[in-house]
Structure 1
Amino acid sequence: MSAPFPLHLLAPPDPDTLPLPFPARPADGVKLLRGAVYAVPDGSRPLTVDLWLPEGGSGSVPVVVFVHGGGWRTGLRDDLGPRFRHWRPGPFARLAQAGFAVACPDYRLSGEAPHPAQTEDLAALLAWLGTRAGHLGLDTGRTVLWGESAGGHLAALTALTRPVGAVSGCVTWYAPTDLPGLAEDRNEGAYDAHDPRSFEALLLGGAPADSADVARAASPVAHVGPEAPPFLILHGADDALVPARQSLRLAEALRSAGHRPDLCLLPGGNHLWVGLSDEEVEDCYGRTLGFLRRCADHPEP
């Protein structure tokens, strides 16, 4: 009779020890490691991250973690939105040229797992970056989270729930921040908090009105405290998908906790920066780069 099969051999490899992808060079002074595995959640696909790294230089570089949007339902990890797809070099290559490492991760979408799986994935990414920091030349003590739309929600939620010092700043672009408040903020008839098919309901595992405690726990505003990192909050004043009031709610919560968030509402701006001129979109990126540089120089809140 044959010996039983050693089931431990079926266990996935440790992402901390897997070989890193072979680097590409998509722009001058930039090295790209595309699709490194950073986590293998039980019962799920492996989660991967693209790493945009500056070439040359000495010492460790600050880290930007970009979290993509898509209603928690879809999206590409390296996509900043339609207003940036024609940029050459692209926005992440430009950050690497400016001396930042940029990590663009996948995370489990709402069709794969409900909240809090997404923030658990981002926490796993931060831990993986810390493990790999020496090899990759990263200063993870200077890590800024940045996300757009649903990714901005996840970036803010992660920044506000990680241990003090784990994140040195956070940038949100047109992000939902108070899920129970969406019913009040959206135009009448544009949002039904009892709808189990909404993006928010699919994230929470139930309609927000029927999952009030979960919706509150999944809202960045519920986690603002005196130790919150610095925030840059950008939102189109005419956003028809995520009302600008959502960013105001986050800014108000931060101010009430003693912080001075940098809030900018852009007149004429809709979701994904629709309605803004190319120059105004460039300015949003420039404001973000300036904030990242300040956080790199002064990592403490």
Structure 2
Amino acid sequence: MRTSPSPSGAGRLADRPATHKVLASVGVASLTALVVGGLALGDLQDLREARDAELSTALPYKNALHGIGLTAKATANDERGYLLTGDPEFLTEIEERLDKVDGYLADARSSADTADEAAFVDRLGTEIGAWSASLQAEFDVYATDRGAAVALAFDQTRGLRKTYEESLDAGLEAADAALLEGADYAETVTVAIWRTAIVCAVGVLLALGLGLAVARGLTRSLGRLRVAADRLAHGDLTVTVGLHQHDEIGRTAASLDAAVADLRAVMSTVVGAADAVAASSEELSASSAQISASAEETSAQSGVVAGAADEVSRNVQTV
């Protein structure tokens, strides 16, 4: 029994073998898992690169700030040593250390990752420059008035040193916070999370949609097949499944429809033969009745003949 294929998408899906339908659902779910896994690996690589990029700028910047703090503190120690002893070697060390501070400031400025960090380095350089100028003023006064130099050290120079130290501490805290926060890193993480979530949602929806379509198609087809089988079991030979699909269920339904059609033809032949037998039986009954009537008539005529014979016999005896 041939059935015409359905042109719709649902019909094309219904025509696919059941194995293909199940494998398609599983394949969509598997493909989703593979895509999510691939995206996750790619995102992990992006995260590592983003973190490396941040560290490549954040660490040099932070190290430069630490270098400024340590070198400036050593310079302050040399300042006290010179004020106490007047040893010119301290002046040489102070000059060398201030050159190092300038170098660290240049490193911090070149590795600053944001405009705020660059502005901070400029401000810190200005404050350290003011402190350095005050040191030079101390040393100039020291040659003529040691007491005035010491007073300048404990007043103006000390205040300027505390100013840049407070700024430096604030800058280090901000650098630590930026390093821990990782703005680019956090943005990469956010993008990765959203992308993975969207791919998962789309994949799950596709898998669920295809799975539901397959399940509903199988359930509907099997339901029609079951109803037809129940009607056939109750003697209804007019039933047809009528599934126009070419999968296993559709072919089974077509075979059942063909079997029912053949059974109807056989039953029609049997009914025709039964009708012929019934007609022959009626004719035979009529013939039997006619024969019986003829026998009765013959018997009656035999009785008349016998009576006549008796009458003749009596007449002969009388004569």
Structure 1 and Structure 2 fold alike (TM over 0.5): no
TM-score (norm 2): 0.19
The structure whose Rg is larger is 2
Q: Which structure ranks higher in relative contact order (CA pairs < 8 Å, sequence separation ≥ 6)? A: 2
TM-score (norm 1): 0.20
